[in-house]
Amino acid sequence: MTKGSILVAIVDDDRRLLESLRELLESAGYSVRLFSSALALLASPDLPAVDCLVADVEMPVMDGFELQKRLSDLRPDLPVILMTGRRELIDRHRGIFRKPFEGQALLTAISRSLQPPPEEESR
């Protein structure tokens, strides 16, 4: 799979952050789809093609944790990267990016999330 064929969905209710992340990911060679809510992603015809999801934790109607839970039923192998500006959530949940974060750290996390688990590599 080449980077250009990898589709990353970004879900956040902050339009400026969505556009910034689009620029970052497209400059790294990824295809990107932006969604302003979890419900918009779940209703999207693009959902089956998404290879990785980056989502905010705090959003109206459905938060990032609930979105991750719903997607675990629909797409159990879909890598999900969560981000938040709230420190207390980071202290309680490992692996969440704290806003603001370095762009390279997110790119590295996306790249790693797309790698097959070590046991699958040896098959």
Cα 99 to Cα 3, 40, 64, 84, 109: the distances in Å are 25, 22, 14, 6, 14
pLDDT for 111: 95
3-class DSSP state of 16: helix
The domain 3-117 belongs to what CATH superfamily? Response regulator (3.40.50.2300)
Percentage of residues in the chain having pLDDT higher than 70: 86
Predicted confidence (pLDDT) at residue 25 exceeds the cutoff of 70: yes
Sequence spans of domains, the chain: 3-117
Q: pTM value?
A: 0.88
Tokens of 37: 């809510």
- Over the stretch 74-103, which tens digit does the pLDDT of each residue have? 999 999 999 998 766 655 566 788 888 899
Predicted confidence (pLDDT) at residue 7 exceeds the cutoff of 70: yes
pLDDT for 121: 52
